[in-house]
Structure 1
Amino acid sequence: MASSSSSTAKPMEAVRSGSVLSNVVTVLLLLSLGFVFGMVYNANFQESHLTPFLQPLPSLLRSSPTRSSPTPVVGCGVGPPSPSPTPPQAPPPARMGFADFLAPSGGGLAHNMTDEELFWRASMVPRVALVPRRIVPKVAFLFLVTGDMPLRPLWEKFFAGHEGLYSIYVHASPAYTGSPPADSVFYGRMIPSQVTNTSWGNMNLVDAERRLLGTALLDLGNARFALLSETCIPLLSFPAAYAFLTSANASFIDSFPTRKRHAPFFLRRNISRAQWRKGSQWFEMDRELAVDVVAEEQYMAVFRGDHGIANMLEHYMPTLVTLLGWGARAANRTLTYTDWPRPGPHPASYGVRDVTPELLEGMRRGNGECGSGASGAVEFCFMFARKFSGDALDKLLELAPKVMGFG
């Protein structure tokens, strides 16, 4: 009987062992299926939610190739979950070529940079002398205006037919909300301003000038920079002005010694009497000096201080010429004619009754410190003149072909 009981127990133990083994295999199979399912789901999740910061660099520079759907798991009866629809992604930025670095993208002037950011960017200078492609130099015309430009049609005649050789930048009073017509070369040339207010003789006008220069420096093709106002007119044709400016070795900044006033100011700030200067704010400068102007901060802080001087605008740039050692690189005169009658705090102005061929020719020839155009035929001392009112426009347009050589 004992032998019979022992032989019966062995099959029962075998059955129990087989049942446990079967349970273990079943559990392991379920765990394996769960692991595979989780891996497939995780891969699908990353495929659908990959952020730009996790994408490889090439996908940021060109369109990503179309990705195929994950392959279902074969033989297990389990497939990946259906991917959730994702919102359309903006196309990646196009590759930038050399030409994109020569001028702001699209030629637009809109940006939201602060003065500090703009001047930092504008003051960068290439250190390699030989550029990979010839850059045609342009003259940047910087218009510092209060509002509308009544003499705009005259300037449009001046620029006509010379596209690619000039750039236009306009800084208007913050209160101005107008705009030139869409067919004007001045349309869309208003720069974004950080100046909250502008007033005569104040350093906030220097802020506006520096922002004009900084924005123009973003275009690497701009080689010369001329500051003008809405009352300025050209006294030469564009070809004559362009030839002279792009071949000049000097910048034209009015700067002459003055010791009659403000001695306590400059002596307290370590500015010598020989360095203290005065002159016209209207300049024509090269790119190297323009970079120095936007990068300079030490003396800007000095001139912004509480100094009790009414018109710092006429002292800052002329004095900066000597402080930064520009003497050998800057001609001690401006190319913009202004008549300052004595006595009087304001320059002479000209209306329709004042405009004659003799007046314009006299302004152009000036006081005898003359240069000549590329042909040597046109002698001049001044390239621009101010201060003309809007009612003189028709007369100026009439005389432009005969006296100034354009229109």
Structure 2
Amino acid sequence: MLCEMVVFKDLSVGLMKVVYVLIVFVTGIVIGLMSSSHVDRYFTTQPYSLDRIRASASLDSMYKSSVTSDPNCSIRSSGVGSCVTEDCLSMESFRFPKNLSHRMTDEELFWRGSLVPEKKEYPFDRMPKIAFMFLTRGRLPFVPLWERFFKGQDVRKYSIYVHTDPMFELGVANTSVFYKRQIPSQAVKWGSVSLVDAERRLLGNALLDFSNERFVLLSESCIPIHNFPTIYKYLVNSVYSYLDSYDDPSKYGRGRYSRHMKPDIRLRDWRKGSQWFEMHRELAIKIISDTKYYNLFHKYCTEDCYPDEHYMPTFVHMFHGSLNADRTVTYVDWSIGGPHPKSFGPKDITDSFMKSLRNNGTTCSFNKGTTPVCYLFARKFNETALEPLLKLDPEVLGY
């Protein structure tokens, strides 16, 4: 009997040990599973959390960049250690971009510049402006003369744009009307379609200012031969644009036509003219909005075709002739023959010569009548002519 009790006691102790081991084992498994679940959840949620943190940081960076680095937003100093940012989406910024720097491609620029409001009334007091657009290879030698021309004039009546080599800086004083007036430019090669690109680029940038009504293309060798009030009144009151466009039957005109342009452009449509134009806003928008005919010139008007002398004259003649006077308001002397006009130097700068440019006895069409004032600007002046021009009596030029 005693032996049986001992055996039973041993069995009970053994069973308790087994049960205890099983409880510990099961508890360990449960704890392990729970820990594993938390670990998995932690690691599966971490990338998402990190992504959110990175995205948030990226958005903060973009926001800060848009406020401080966006070239379309200017920052004005407002006391020591502080500044005020201009609202990029304000009406003032939209209708009158103060900063000409931007990162738009030509395609984006032309789309933006071609925007036309359906509502005719302006939500601001609009003063029609003349956009003076300078297409130059480098510096502008006649800046002092142009400064005198603009001096004392109402700044609400004009704006200035300069297209030059993208690596070139004008280097004018911050008091100059040309200060920070360079647009984003690209390299230009004489006689190539890149000249047309530069002209359209100037128009596109100038069209961003909704107050610009008239657009004048000028070179570094151009000078004004009338004072500002005369030129302003002449252009703002004109119902036509002044883009040279005529039929030239010689090899320098029709001889440059490519039959590959048919049937969209036929020989009878082909026109020639000086690239130094003046036009109103409606026509400027038509020109930068064109893709089809520009592409034809880009593809077929190459080598000795000189697209800058034919693209706009042909395009305007074909579709917008009623808006154009078919003449230029920039005088140039082609009497010497050859591919370049006569250049005027110091010996040419006399009172009588300058007066003859302003009025040589001929008349030109103006609106529905005629006028003795045919030219408002003249070229091609050598930079050595600057000093004698500045020495002319102000009454000769009117400024």
TM-score with structure 1 setting the length: 0.72
Indicate which of 200, 213, 216 corresponds to 2:206.
Answer: 216
C-alpha deviation, 1:52, in angstroms: 10
Structure 1 CA distance for aligned equivalents of residues 142 and 162 of structure 2:
14
Structure-1 residue corresponding to 2:183: 191
Indicate which of 208, 220, 224 corresponds to 1:234.
Answer: 224
After superposition, what is the alpha-carbon deviation per residue over 1:1-25, rounded to whole angstroms, capped at 9, x for unaligned?
xxxxxxxxxxxxxxxxxxxxxxxxx
Structure 2 CA distance for aligned equivalents of residues 306 and 52 of structure 1:
50
Structure 1 CA distance for aligned equivalents of residues 189 and 217 of structure 2:
17
1:248 partnered with 2:243: no
The structure-2 alpha-carbon separation of the partners of 1:131 and 1:91, relative to structure 1 and needing over 3 Å to count, comes to: closer
The structure-2 alpha-carbon separation of the partners of 1:400 and 1:318, relative to structure 1 and needing over 3 Å to count, comes to: farther
- The RMSD of aligned alpha carbons is 2.9
Counterpart residue type for residue 122 of structure 1: G
Structure-2 residue corresponding to 1:384: 377
Q: What is the DSSP-based 3-state SS (H/G/I as helix, E as strand, rest coil) of the residue aligned with 1:251?
A: coil
Indicate which of 79, 93, 115 corresponds to 1:124.
Answer: 115
CA contact (8 A) 2:358 2:375 kept: yes
Indicate which of 237, 259, 269 corresponds to 1:265.
Answer: 259
Structure 2 CA distance for aligned equivalents of residues 159 and 344 of structure 1:
34
CA contact (8 A) 2:344 2:381 kept: yes
After superposition, what is the alpha-carbon deviation per residue over 1:272-308, rounded to whole angstroms, capped at 9, x for unaligned?
2331000100000000111111111111111011444
CA contact (8 A) 1:366 1:381 kept: no
Indicate which of 349, 355, 376 corresponds to 2:343.
Answer: 349
Structure 2 CA distance for aligned equivalents of residues 154 and 268 of structure 1:
46
CA contact (8 A) 1:266 1:273 kept: no
The structure-2 alpha-carbon separation of the partners of 1:306 and 1:319, relative to structure 1 and needing over 3 Å to count, comes to: closer
After superposition, what is the alpha-carbon deviation per residue over 1:110-164, rounded to whole angstroms, capped at 9, x for unaligned?
1111101111111100111122333011100000001111111000010111222
The structure-2 alpha-carbon separation of the partners of 1:189 and 1:96, relative to structure 1 and needing over 3 Å to count, comes to: same
CA contact (8 A) 2:136 2:163 kept: yes
Structure 1 unaligned blocks of 5 or more: 1-44, 56-89
Q: What is the DSSP-based 3-state SS (H/G/I as helix, E as strand, rest coil) of the residue aligned with 1:120?
A: helix
Structure 2 CA distance for aligned equivalents of residues 236 and 52 of structure 1:
58
Structure-2 residue corresponding to 1:300: 294
Aligned residues: 318
Structure 2 CA distance for aligned equivalents of residues 322 and 220 of structure 1:
26
Structure-2 residue corresponding to 1:285: 279
Structure-1 residue corresponding to 2:315: 320
Structure 2 unaligned blocks of 5 or more: 1-48, 61-82
Structure 2 CA distance for aligned equivalents of residues 273 and 369 of structure 1:
31
The structure-2 alpha-carbon separation of the partners of 1:52 and 1:249, relative to structure 1 and needing over 3 Å to count, comes to: farther
C-alpha deviation, 1:258, in angstroms: 2.1
Indicate which of 133, 141, 154 corresponds to 2:145.
Answer: 154
Q: What is the DSSP-based 3-state SS (H/G/I as helix, E as strand, rest coil) of the residue aligned with 2:317?
A: helix
CA contact (8 A) 1:257 1:278 kept: yes
Q: What is the DSSP-based 3-state SS (H/G/I as helix, E as strand, rest coil) of the residue aligned with 1:168?
A: strand
Q: Percentage identity across aligned positions?
A: 43
Structure-2 residue corresponding to 1:170: 162
The structure-2 alpha-carbon separation of the partners of 1:394 and 1:305, relative to structure 1 and needing over 3 Å to count, comes to: same
Structure 1 CA distance for aligned equivalents of residues 245 and 113 of structure 2:
25
CA contact (8 A) 1:235 1:360 kept: yes
C-alpha deviation, 1:368, in angstroms: 1.5
C-alpha deviation, 1:98, in angstroms: 3.4
Q: What is the DSSP-based 3-state SS (H/G/I as helix, E as strand, rest coil) of the residue aligned with 1:305?
A: helix
- Which structure has greater helix proportion? 2
Indicate which of 355, 363, 368 corresponds to 1:369.
Answer: 363
TM-score with structure 2 setting the length: 0.73
